[in-house]
Amino acid sequence: GPSGTGKTTLANRFAELVLAEGGLFLSGKFDQLQQATPFSALSLAFNEYCNMLISSVDSQSVIIASALREALAQDAVHLIKVVPNFSLIMGDLCNIDADSGCVDAQKRLQYLLCRFVEIISDSSSRPVVLFLDDLQWA
C-alpha cells in the first residue's frame, strides 16, 4: 500500500502479539540508500537473530546453534559475507579464508539463506515470523 498508511505500525503491533505468545519475530528493513547492498534487510534480521542466539543460554538456543553449525559449516564463509554475526555461532569452525569463487554464487547464497531459515524454524519449538519492511527498496 501507499506510504503512511500504517503498514509498519500494524507489523509492530503484530510483533508484540507474537512475542507475547512466546514466538520469535525477526525484522529487517530495506533502505533506499542501500539498494546496491543485496539482502540488506535479511542481513539486519539475521544478524539480530545471531546476536540473540549467542547471548541466550537456554537449551533451545544451544540446540539451534548446534543445528546451524552442523548443517552450514561447509558453506558458512559464504553466509558470513551477508550475515557477519553468523561467525559468532560458527566460532573456530569457519574458515574465513576459504575460496569464494563460484559461477553460481547468487544461487548458492539464496540456498544458504533458505537453509538458515529452514533450520531456525525446524529447530525452534516456537513460531518464527520474518518481517521485511520497505520491499520497494529491495
The 3-state secondary structure of the chain, one letter per residue: CCCCCCHHHHHHHHHHHHHHCCCEEEEEECCHHHCCCCCHHHHHHHHHHHHHHHHCCCHHHHHHHHHHHHHHHHHHHHHHCCCCCHHHHHHHHCCCCCCCCCCCHHHHHHHHHHHHHHHHHHHCCCCEEEEEECHHHC
Determine the pLDDT at residue 94.
62
Determine the pLDDT at residue 95.
57
Region class of 99: left (phi > 0), else alpha (psi between -120 and 50), else beta: beta
Per residue of the chain (138 residues), give pLDDT as tens: 777 888 889 999 999 999 999 999 999 999 888 777 878 999 999 999 999 999 988 888 999 999 999 999 888 888 998 999 999 999 876 655 555 555 678 888 899 999 999 999 998 888 999 999 988 888
